[in-house]
Homo-oligomer: A and B are copies of this chain.
Amino acid sequence: MASQPSEKQQGESAEQKKAYPPNNIFIGKKPLMVYALSAQLQLSSYPEVILRARGRAISRAVDVAEVLVNRIGKDVYKVDKISIGTEEVGEGDQKRNVSTIEIVVKKKQ
C-alpha cells in the first residue's frame, strides 16, 4: 500500500514527459553536464530548448542554462525567457505545492 502513491507519481511524470517534444529537457539529479550536452544535442535540430525543473532541481536548471550559454555555446546560445510557477504534487494528505521553472535557451540569430 505504502508504495502506491509514489508509483502513481512516477507514472504521472513519465506520462508528462511523453507529452512534451524532445527539446523539453527535464532537469533531475543527474550530473550537470548530462543535461547540458543533451540540450546542446537538441539545439542542433531545434531552434530552442526548454529546461524544466521542479523544487530543489531548480538551481541545477539555472546551472545548466549558465553552462550552456557561457561555456558550451558562448556567443551562439542565449537565455530567451524564464518563467516560474507552482504545481500541486501528491494526493490527499500528501498534497503539497512545488515551485517550477522553465528556462528557454535559443540560438542567437
Contacts and interface: CB of A to CB of B under 8 A. Distances in A.
A62 B103 contact: no
A101 interface: yes
Nearest to A79: B84
A93 B70 CA distance: 21
Count copies of this chain in the complex.
2
A55 B61 CA distance: 11
Contacts of A83: 82
Nearest to A64: B99
Contacts of A70: 86
Contact of A66 (B56, B66, B82, B99): B99
Contacts of A57: 59
Interface string A48-62: 000000011111001
Interface string A67-109: 0001000000001001111100000000001010101000000
A62 B58 contact: yes
Interface of A: 55-59, 62-63, 65-66, 70, 79, 82-86, 97, 99, 101, 103
